Amino acid sequence: MQTFTIYDSQAKRVGEMEKDKQFFTEKVNESLIQQVLRMYAFNQRRGIASTKTRKEVKGGGKKPWKQKGTGRARAGTIRSPLWRGGGIVFGPHPRNFSYKLPQKIRKKAVGAILNVKFKNDQIVVVDKIQIKEAKTKEVMRILNAFNIKEKCLLLLESPNPELQRAGRNISHLSIKFSQNVNAAEIFYAKKLIIGKEAFEKLA
């Protein structure tokens, strides 16, 4: 039976917790993870590229020269797509790239990513994440205890205003709640510090 070691805020071992067999399996569904990460990436895409068609380009109301007798090709407007400064025929326009995968798939992706993190020893389960006072150095003491210097995600079970205020100045730390964290946030974090209650709720 595989278990998680549970630590206190100073990285001292205080117990163990059995691994959830539903999430932590031998095989990782990589295609599922890819689908979900792609969805979150597309949902962040702004899609604001825009070009003007011939009707939107300023000017060109007057015919450049008469239809016949000049020896030049006939032209009706200087804003023709054939002219420099003219409209763009099939250029990009603002669009929405976002889409949604079913909730069941997104939930399974969270489990698959947790599985990857577990295999790579990137999950730290803490019994209770507490600080004495709302100061950045208190949160840094927790990170230093676990020797975490890379991008870290701290997952809480419920709002903790003091901890959130103390941790917002740390550039490589992100504090989220287990009920609204998404698969991409978990995947791109190099280390996860998860409160025991938050971990049980997430699972």
Write out pLDDT tens, residues 20-39.
665 666 678 889 999 999 99
For residue 185, pLDDT beyond 70: yes
Going by C-alpha positions, the residue among 110, 101, 102, 104 that lies closest to residue 29 is 110
Q: Which domains does the chain have, with CATH numbers?
A: 3-45+98-202 (3.40.1370.10), 47-96 (no CATH)
pTM of the model: 0.78
* 46-74 mean pLDDT: 93
- Residues near 163 by Cβ (< 8 Å), separated by ≥ 6? 129, 130, 131, 134, 139, 156, 175
Q: φ, ψ for residue 66 (rounded to 5)? A: -65, 160
pLDDT at 22: 59
The residue among 201 and 33 whose pLDDT is bigger is: 33
